[in-house]
Amino acid sequence: MSRPEDTLPPDLFYNDTESRKYTTSSRIQRIQSDMTHRALSLLSLASPSLILDIGCGSGLSGEILSQTPQYGTPGGPHVWIGLDISASMLGVALEKDVDGDLFLADAGQGVPFRPGTFDAAISISAIQWLCNAETSEDSPAGRLSRFFGGLYASLRRGGRAVCQFYPKNETQKKMVAQAAIKAGFGAGLLEDDEGTKNAKTYLVLTVGGGDLDGDITGVVRGMDSVHVMARPGAKAAKRGGDIVKGSRGWILKKKEQMERKGKVVKPSSKYTGRKRRVQF
Amino acid sequence: MKLLTLNFLTCAIKACKSSPASFPLHPRDVELEIVESDINLPFLKNILPRLMWAELRTIAAELGLPELPETAPTRDHLVEGKEEAKEGEEVDEVPSQTARDLHRVLLETTVKEGKLVCGNCAHEYKVMEGVPNFLLPGHLV
């Protein structure tokens, strides 16, 4: 099946007809609601919170966030704020009279909220759209880094985010996860129904500090098919062991690399990497 | 868009991020609407410490709403004088007048039409049918 991400940018793809089709299809509704419930269980919110919904679309997931615990929303009813780039989708949401606040915004341009605003963030089938850039002055990496940077800042310490997305391939999955880690999140990828056509990928993100149970590994403890990709602090430790650029060790390493490539390399001696005497 | 959201919103332009004047956004030519909703006391308690009260007062004054008290209420102000709870029994907390007023201002008062203006770069964000437009042209991102 072709991916809508490869055909058109999201604001053009989700036009009036496509938005209506998306919102009224009972199959999509069921899948979206399953995924929202799954994401909510990963967020494990105990009390009514302020939640950011990235790519809220017509508010399919938002409707679930506004529900009370009796209707299966833990800790609800939550107050949510939704961002979406498609005006048609938001139009459908307005018609449905959803409870959350809606914003016409591109998540790839950042998240325009002050630091520490949200308790949690949720995103259902949206962030794969960030892997496409529509103009030459923009790049997928730039869009992802602005998005995750903005998201990291706008979450409170100890906050969590769960992003369900449809990666095109392994590379894209890795690119998204790496962008999140670079922004400072503790990140983990969780896959439901791995290896099948119904595979669902969840990126579970945590912001350090606060009352969280350790890092991301606390969220996914005891779950199957979870790969923890980075732990806060692990990166810093690795960087400390690197060889300083320009030092003798670095030069020797580079020479070895070049030699392995089959280049002609001058033999090393005790003078290799030494400073020249200051000439009078 | 609720006034609560306005209390968290900053200018989206990169150059404004470092300037304190980019928060709060100032409403201009605004049409307000009251949307009734159920009071959610645990949420109010949760959000209260995160509110920027001084900015909320400024915005309320700019919108011509009744003046808010000078200092922010505390969590205790939100609950009506608690009755003596019997052992092992949970008493439902009753929202006080302060809580109801706060709910009115933050969650029921919404901006329907108008503009939001950044205090730093004077960029105008249009609000239509309660949905602000935060799409930026490429050179401002």
Using one digit for the tens of pLDDT, what is the confidence trace for A92-131?
Answer: 999 998 999 999 999 999 899 999 999 999 999 999 999 9
Q: Does A249 touch chain B (CB under 8 A)?
A: no
Closest CB to A77: pick one of B14, B40, B136: B40
Residue A244 has pLDDT above 90, yes or no: no
State whether A138 and B138 contact (CB < 8 Å): yes
Domain shared by A107 and A179, yes or no: yes
Residue A74 is predicted with a pLDDT of: 85
Q: Confirm or reject contact between A152 and chain B (CB < 8 A).
A: no
What is the spatial distance between Cα B118 and Cα B109, in angstroms, rounded to a whole number? 21
Q: Which residue of A has its CA nearest to B42?
A: A48
Q: A113 — contact with chain B (CB < 8 Å)?
A: yes
The CATH architecture assigned to B3-80+94-140 reads Single Sheet (2.20)
Residues of B in contact with A114 (CB under 8 A): 8-10, 23, 52
**Residue A151 three-state SS:** helix
Q: Extract the tokens encoding A124.
A: 């259902």
Amino acid A220: pLDDT: 56
- A interface test, pick of B14, B110, B126, B134 with most A CB neighbours within 10 Å: B134
**Residue B3: which residues within 8 A CB-CB, separation 6 or more?**
B56, B59, B60, B105, B106, B109, B110, B111
What pLDDT is stored for residue B133 in this prediction?
94
| Residue A190 included in any domain | yes
H/E segment holding residue A205: strand A200-206
Q: What is the pLDDT of residue A236?
A: 46
Within a domain: A238: no
- Position A83: which residue type? L
Is the domain of A185 the same as that of A273?
no
B92 DSSP assignment: P
Cβ distance of B50 and A116 shorter than 8 Å: yes
Residue with tokens 């007023």: B101
Query: Which residues of chain A have a CB within 8 Å of the CB of B8?
Result: 81, 113-114, 117
How confident is the model over A35-61, as a mean pLDDT?
Answer: 92
Confirm whether A237 is domain-assigned: no
| Residue A280 maps to a domain | yes
Whose CA is closest to A48, among B1, B81, B37? B37
Which residue numbers in chain B have pLDDT < 50? Answer: 84-89
CB contact under 8 A, B136 and A106: yes
The size of chain B, in residues, is 141
Q: What is the pLDDT of residues A186-236, one digit of tens each?
A: 888 888 888 888 889 999 999 876 554 545 555 555 565 666 665 554 444
A67 and A116 inside one domain: yes
Structural contact between residues A55 and A126, judged by C-beta atoms closer than 8 angstroms = yes
pLDDT in tens, A130-169: 998 888 888 999 999 999 999 999 999 889 999 999 998 8
Quick one: A120 and A196 in the same domain?
A: yes
Cβ neighbors of A208 (< 8 A, separation 6 or more) are: A157, A158, A184, A186, A215, A232
Q: Determine whether the interchain pair B47/A114 forms a contact, defined as Cβ–Cβ distance below 8 Å.
A: no
Domain that holds residue A130: 4-232
Q: Are residues A172 and A77 in the same domain?
A: yes
- CA distance to partner chain B, nearest, from residue A40 (Å): 17
Query: Residue A23: pLDDT above 80?
Result: yes
Closest chain A residue to B19 measured between Cα atoms? A114
The reply to whether A39 and A81 lie within a common domain is yes
Check: complex ipTM more than 0.90: no
Task: Supply the DSSP symbol for A60.
Answer: H
Q: Find the CATH number of the domain harbouring A50.
A: 3.40.50.150
Residue B69 C-alpha, separation from nearest chain A C-alpha, in angstroms: 23
- Residue B85 has a pLDDT of 44
Whether the pLDDT of residue A33 is over 50: the answer is yes
Tell which residue, A69, A55, A61, has the closest CA to residue A39: A61
Look at residue B95 in the predicted model and tell me its pLDDT. Answer: 83
Number of domains in chain A: 2
The band of A11, judged by pLDDT with boundaries at 50, 70 and 90, is confident
The pLDDT confidence band at residue A49, using thresholds 50, 70 and 90, is very high
Helices A87-96 and A16-24, packing angle to 10 deg: 50
Contact (CB<8Å) A156/B2: no
